[in-house]
A = this chain, B = another copy of it.
Amino acid sequence: MNVGFVGTGTMGQPMVANLIRKGHAVLAYDIVPAALEAAAALGARTAGSAAEVAKRSELIITMLPSSPHVDAAFVGPGGVLEGAAPGHLCVDMSTIEPATSQRIAAAAKTRGVRFLDAPVSGGLPKAIEGTLTIMVGGNPTDLEEARPVLAALGSNIVHVGPVGSGEVAKICNNLIAGVAMVAVSEAFRIAEGFGVDPKILTEVISKSSGNTWAMLHGHPVPGMVPTSASNRDYAPGFTTDLMAKDLGLAVNAARQLRVPVCVAPAAQQLLRLASSHGLGRKDFSSVYTFLRPSSDRAPV
């Protein structure tokens, strides 16, 4: 199928590569020339604007860093909605505010254009493997139409509900994942202060009510779990910056919904601080290193 692809940055490039590998013709655009050249080097044709991509593609995928970027790419000048004809199908795979997805979907609908939100999880490693999890919001029939293309990108494609639901699932999952990682880090710092063996503690918790994916698969203490980022100096994985962003999306969504939230903003701000102090591009489990105790000369 002729696939348009807007946003060929770090995550977009391996996705474009997988689409081409599976036999799709890709027409690409990125506002950053170097990113667009990278897509060309992978075998994509290139366009001069998102609108041009939209005009010449039946299915348009967007993969952009934030809500304002997606807004600009769809409803800004030269944006997708300028070029897309009635019946075209847009799949936004960016992680953004659910309310933005809903607003853009409504704008698309007035032009007869269909829209799915389809954020991904799994990070760069699974983008490269083509084994992302894709959480989809929108019309199920539209998803079925997009599925053969999405299958080149991810191995677990879930329909969550109406437009925006994919984003909601993503940010709700990451809210829990981010908070749990901080909680695990706090717990192991306390245990360490008492001299308790982290291996035994991991074993105990893994069989009890404190068990979490964060500890089992992303253990922040080096040497506990073979595959965790903590064993490779916290090379991501999923960066502190991205987790701070996703927690921020969740907290801001809560604000707009008037839902009180307490641990999500605490974790968000801690990761934001960790980013300010040099851990932004490390795996988010590096928050454990940030939570080091004060000098034992500090009064208590």
Contact = CB atoms under 8 A, between A and B. Distances in A.
A11 to B, nearest CB: 11
Contacts of A158: 200, 203-204
A168 B184 contact: no
B262 A210 contact: no
Number of copies: 4
Nearest to A198: B172
Contacts of A195: 161-162
A300 B256 contact: yes
Interface string A133-177: 101000000000000000000001010111011001101111111
A177 to B, nearest CB: 4
Interface string A239-279: 00110110010111111111111111111111011011100
29 contacts: A156-B207, A160-B200, A168-B191, A168-B201, A169-B200, A171-B190, A172-B201, A175-B183, A175-B210, A176-B184, A176-B210, A176-B212, A176-B215, A180-B212, A189-B261, A193-B259, A194-B253, A208-B213, A212-B212, A242-B299, A251-B251, A260-B276, A261-B291, A262-B269, A262-B270, A265-B269, A272-B294, A276-B294, A280-B295
B183 A245 contact: no
A247 to B, nearest CB: 10
A262 B293 CA distance: 13
For the complex, would chain A's binding face be called helix, strand, loop or mixed by DSSP majority? helix
Contact of A245 (B168, B250, B299): B299
A65 interface: yes
B98 A194 contact: yes
Nearest to A64: B299
A100 interface: no
The 8 A-B pairs at the shortest CB distance, nearest first, are namely A193-B257, A176-B210, A173-B210, A172-B187, A179-B183, A177-B209, A265-B265, A266-B266
